[in-house]
């Protein structure tokens, strides 16, 4: 299986080689020939030229984000090699970056270099709190484990969304778009100088959509305010972010419903549609304070406060439909000292601190029910608090060994403490109506990990560079892994899951009109969480055996002529269960992991006709290979190809019109699919039919 699933990679490598030969003759100038000269910040927290970086980072520019006019983030990030975000509901995504499509805490989400959420309570919907669509200043995705400056959850990738910085020259943008399913998308963005040292920016957006399926209506309001102070060696970025989000919660469909009624919500008859909602209120205030201490030293301190208030119904439990509320309050501090010893050597010393108070409460408003022998009483069934503390010192040293060879060494130590306090006891229940959850005693859990990082980059010339990297990443269990247990379970402890990643990569120009970035990686994950392991005391979760993720990623950009520009992003992967359990053999050993589409290909052809200045059109093809729905690899989806069309026309320097058609050929497709033990025939979330939207924007 490992060999045959890489067969398509040979075709793509041939395509790349053929393309470089085809495009080498005309001395065309690549439209964005500075693609590798971009400045990125995710790897070190400070400006770094992408061409010189020894990690795999893909970027989306602010201009490309604006052109996409996205209402959910997958429309933009899926242009990156090896990145596939499927639309879960509304603006909420289920991401896959080198790993299967997952909603676990395997990715670290950042907004302007500051974590969007705490490891204690991961929510894959947290990316919808980012300012990617309200203030699109560009995005960076560092693939593989993070560098020394990144902590827990940076297991497979770090996703960093950058909001637009304030500018001293006054500017503004007002936009509105509408479309099918009553799409409403409004945005205001203004910026300007307050005086010689201060500038500010305010971005406000509102989006809503009735959804193409039943019970899929959603809306989101977002505000991002930024303040910049520059004077006497000081540079301070104050950023306020607020999001109010409300989405209905449709479910997945049986094969029969998918074929005959894909617009149905997939919810059981007992579910109250009006209360089937996922709601969140997000607030964060951060201040990145930078001070040039000398010609060799710069200090950067970033304090931040964050509050996340969520509430959602368990629509997948139709007999009881409880509602869970979660409140996360965080005080964090990111400290970095940048030392430049000379032109060939520099070091980052850092210390990250996080203090978080997390509360979870689950309440059942419906009358007491008995489901599969377990009593679910009306009232509060789960109520606990967790105090989380994290302390992480690190260093990262960069040394030019020769004029062409650079080495980066990193080491991070992270220690985390959980203090769990259960607000419920046996006295809150009775023999007739016992607790539907295991009533845990108050307890403390501690996790620590030492994370080495090592990379080399070698400049073959000023147009070609290669790099190699080793990195270890980890993720700690979140609160639900440890403390949300059924009465038939027994108490247990877990270790962090770790991953070791090996990769080699290339960046360069194949000709004056063709650029290429490529990476080959092999990642080995150990101690993943395996649930439902039987013991005499009851079922427990344990740290599992080993999983392997390997693949080839290719990104190509080519200007075909003065009017045509092509981008290709492709990934060919092989994600396998090497060993299900750490100490036992299993029938699942050697199986391909579920929800691992292979290959993933995104091709965009952009056309700017010379005869009609101001018009830009783009045809996009998204190809998603098949993936298994079940661990035994008996059910597989079909491969799917979708096309999208975008166009914008600048009527004047200030006035812009745009048109977008998603799923151009109205093809039936699914965005997620699984076959759990209780639904071996499979459950599916259908993708939207052909959808048209149009907009107008005015710059002032």
Instruction: Give the CATH number for residue 19.
Output: 2.40.170.20
For residue 73, what are its two tokens?
Answer: 């983030």
pLDDT over 70 percentage in the chain: 95
Mean pLDDT along residues 192-210 = 97
Q: Rounded mean pLDDT of the chain?
A: 91
pLDDT tens for 222-237 read 999 999 999 999 999 9
* Domain residue limits at 656: 4-699
CA distance 300 to 381: 45
For residue 199, what are its two tokens?
Answer: 């500038």
Among 168-172, 250-254, 583-587, the range scoring the smallest mean pLDDT is 583-587
Q: How sure is the predictor about 90, in pLDDT bands with cuts at 50, 70 and 90? A: confident
Per the structure, how many domains does the chain have?
1
pLDDT tens for 424-480 read 999 999 989 999 999 999 999 999 999 999 999 999 998 999 999 999 999 999 999
Mean pLDDT along residues 614-625 = 96
Residue 575: predicted pLDDT: 96
Which of 447-461, 536-550, 668-682 has maximum average pLDDT?
Answer: 447-461
Per residue, the 3-state secondary structure of 268-323, as one string, reads CCCCCHHHCEEEEEEEEEEEEEEEECCCCEEEEEEEEEEEEEEEEECCCCCCCCCE
Among 231-240, 444-453, 536-545, 680-689, the range scoring the smallest mean pLDDT is 536-545
CA distance 36 to 556: 12
Residue 36: predicted pLDDT: 67
Which runs of E-coded beta strand occur in 614-669? 615-624, 640-650, 655-662
Output the CA torsion 613→614→615→619 (10° steps): 120
Residue 26: predicted pLDDT: 33
- 48 has pLDDT over 90: no
pLDDT tens for 146-161 read 999 999 999 999 999 9
Residue 15: predicted pLDDT: 40
- 6 has pLDDT over 50: no
- 415 has pLDDT over 70: yes
pLDDT tens for 499-519 read 999 999 999 999 989 999 999
**pTM of the predicted protein model:** 0.91
């Amino acid at each position: 299986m490992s060999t045959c699933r890489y067969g398509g990679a040979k075709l793509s490598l041939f395509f790349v080689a053929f393309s470089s030969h085809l495009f080498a003759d005309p001395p065309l100038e690549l439209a964005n020939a500075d693609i590798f000269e971009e400045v990125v910040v995710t790897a070190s927290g400070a400006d770094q030229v992408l061409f010189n970086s020894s990690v795999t980072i893909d970027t989306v520019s602010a201009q490309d984000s604006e052109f996409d006019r996205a209402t959910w983030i997958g429309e933009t990030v899926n242009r990156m090699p090896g990145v596939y975000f499927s639309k879960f509901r509304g603006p909420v995504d289920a991401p896959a970056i080198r790993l299967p499509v997952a909603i676990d805490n395997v990715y670290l989400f950042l907004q302007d270099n500051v974590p969007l959420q705490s490891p204690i309570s991961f929510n894959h919907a947290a990316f919808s709190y980012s300012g990617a669509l309200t203030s699109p200043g560009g995005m960076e995705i560092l693939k593989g484990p993070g560098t020394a400056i990144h902590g827990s959850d940076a297991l497979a990738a770090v996703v960093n969304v950058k909001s637009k910085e304030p500018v001293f020259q006054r500017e503004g943008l007002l936009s509105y778009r509408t479309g099918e399913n009553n799409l409403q998308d409004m945005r205001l963005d203004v910026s300007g100088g307050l005086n010689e040292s201060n500038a500010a920016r305010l971005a406000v957006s509102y989006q809503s959509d009735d959804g193409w399926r039943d019970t899929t209506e959603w809306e989101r309001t977002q505000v991002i305010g930024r303040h910049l102070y520059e004077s006497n060696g000081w540079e301070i970025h104050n950023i306020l972010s607020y999001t109010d989000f409300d989405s209905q919660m449709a479910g997945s469909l049986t094969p029969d419903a998918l074929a005959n009624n894909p617009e149905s919500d997939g919810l059981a008859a007992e579910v109250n549609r009006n209360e089937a909602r996922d709601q969140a209120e997000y607030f964060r205030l951060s201040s990145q304070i930078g001070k040039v201490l000398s010609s060799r030293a710069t200090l950067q301190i970033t304090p931040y406060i964050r509050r996340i208030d969520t509430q959602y119904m368990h629509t997948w439990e139709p007999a009881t439909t409880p509602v869970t509320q979660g409140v996360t309050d965080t005080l964090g501090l990111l400290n970095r000292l940048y030392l430049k010893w000379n032109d060939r050597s520099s070091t980052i010393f850092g210390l990250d601190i996080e203090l978080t108070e997390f509360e979870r409460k689950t309440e059942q408003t419906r009358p007491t029910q008995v489901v599969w022998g377990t009593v679910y009483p009306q009232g509060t069934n789960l109520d606990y608090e967790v105090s989380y503390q994290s302390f992480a010192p690190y260093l990262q040293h960069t040394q030019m060994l020769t004029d062409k060879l650079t080495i980066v060494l990193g080491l991070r130590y992270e220690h985390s403490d959980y203090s769990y306090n259960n607000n419920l006891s046996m006295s809150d229940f009775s023999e007739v109506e016992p607790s539907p959850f295991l009533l845990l005693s108050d307890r403390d859990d501690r996790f620590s990990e030492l994370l080495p990082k090592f990379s080399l980059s070698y400049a073959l010339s000023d147009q070609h560079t290669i790099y190699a990297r080793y990195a270890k990443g980890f993720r700690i269990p979140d609160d639900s892994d440890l403390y949300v247990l059924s009465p038939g379970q027994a108490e247990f402890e877990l270790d962090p899951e770790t991953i070791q990643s090996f990769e080699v990569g290339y960046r360069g120009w194949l000709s004056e009109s063709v650029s290429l970035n490529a990476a080959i990686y092999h990642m080995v994950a150990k101690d993943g969480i395996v649930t439902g392991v039987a013991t005499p005391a009851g079922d427990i979760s344990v740290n599992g055996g080993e999983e392997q993720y390997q693949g080839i990623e290719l990104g190509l950009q080519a200007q075909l002529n003065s009017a045509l520009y092509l981008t290709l992003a492709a990934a060919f992967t092989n994600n396998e269960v090497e060993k299900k359990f750490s100490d036992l053999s299993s029938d699942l050993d050697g199986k391909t992991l579920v929800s691992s589409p292979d290959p993933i290909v995104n091709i965009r052809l952009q056309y700017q006709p010379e005869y009609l200045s101001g018009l830009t059109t783009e045809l996009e093809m998204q190809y998603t290979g098949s993936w298994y729905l079940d661990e035994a690899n008996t059910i597989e989806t079909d491969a799917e190809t979708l096309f999208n069309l975008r166009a914008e026309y600048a009527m004047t320097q200030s006035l812009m019109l745009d048109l977008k058609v998603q799923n151009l050929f109205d093809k039936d497709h699914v965005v997620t699919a699984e076959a759990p033990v209780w639904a071996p025939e499979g459950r599916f979330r259908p993708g939207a039919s052909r959808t048209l939207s149009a907009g107008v924007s005015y710059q002032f």
